[in-house]
Amino acid sequence: MRIAVYTFDDITMFHLAAPLMVFGEVTRLDLAPGWQTRLWSDRPGSVRTAEGYPIGEVAGPETVEWADIVIVPSWPRPSTPIGAALKERLYQAHARGAIIVGLCLGAFAVADAGLLDGRAAVTHWEAMPLLAERCPGSEVDSSVLYIDHDDVLTSAGTASAIDACLYLVRKHLGSAAATRVARHLVVAPHREGGQAQYIERPLARVATDTVIAEVLEWALTRLDEPLPVDRLAEQAKMSRRSFVRHFQQATGTTPARWVLERRLQEARVLLETTDWSIDTVASSCGFASPITFRQNFTAAFSTTPRAYRRQFASPPPATVRKKK
């Protein structure tokens, strides 16, 4: 397998290192003869990373014709379209049968080459709205760490590049090889859930209506209690219909959606900071049952409450051992 990794000035070292590290480990462990990885850029020579370090002996664009897999590991800025020359190289490589991979913001280069039209894609969660705007024929998906169409693959943000590269090893060399590479890199061979669990989900905009703002503050102290629309409307001293209209105008969402989002955010905090059982977290956040809690949590974050806790729970304070 011949892998060409695209690089450019101001690329971050981590984005460049992820594919080099995973595929380089295949070679170092002698897992497959003929696996080669080369760096290339728009011109041969050297590039300077975002951290200020020069990388020399970078091959020129002719490397694309040599490669079975062409990887764009990042992109300078989502708003910057790729040049005509790079667009043509990616398109032609794809046309002759090479696999095109866009890791993190590299998905924008793949999109600009016209290779994501009508296909699901993923990129860093912060840039997903822009990718959807840039490539309206694509379905952006925050519920996964990577999406493979056999000929085109995109991955979510930053560290997801490692997941995607390990997936390519698993796909072409088998699970045993991928597991061995992962073990040497001390990473999980396969992570649960997608990047939805990492997304910072801001609350609905702050209510500008004083009455609605007071109801929100009141409800936040009662998330463990039933909070149907009628009860919220009664607290606001409004009819149900009038309350829903004012609530949507003030917050940009519905009362039921707002309550659910606040309960889910509170659940994340409790899972991260307490050792409460899942049942206790569910009841403390106002979910009717642990089953309802799990269903809503999984739908929102693409992972289970238990898996989320394993990933994000705060570690216990380190124990300092005194010398005797």
pLDDT given for residue 19 in this prediction: 95
Average pLDDT over residues 156-180: 87
pLDDT beyond 60 at 36: yes
Q: What is the pLDDT of residues 48-96, one digit of tens each?
A: 999 999 999 899 999 999 999 999 999 998 888 999 999 999 999 999 9
pLDDT given for residue 86 in this prediction: 95
Q: What is the pLDDT of residues 255-266, one digit of tens each?
A: 999 999 889 988
pTM score, whole prediction: 0.64
From the list 168, 144, 166, the residue with the least C-alpha distance to 155 is 144
In order of start, what are the domains of the chain with their CATH numbers? Answer: 2-198 (3.40.50.880), 210-312 (1.10.10.60)
Q: What is the pLDDT of residues 183-220, one digit of tens each?
A: 888 876 666 555 554 444 444 444 456 888 889 889 98
Over the chain, what is the mean pLDDT?
87
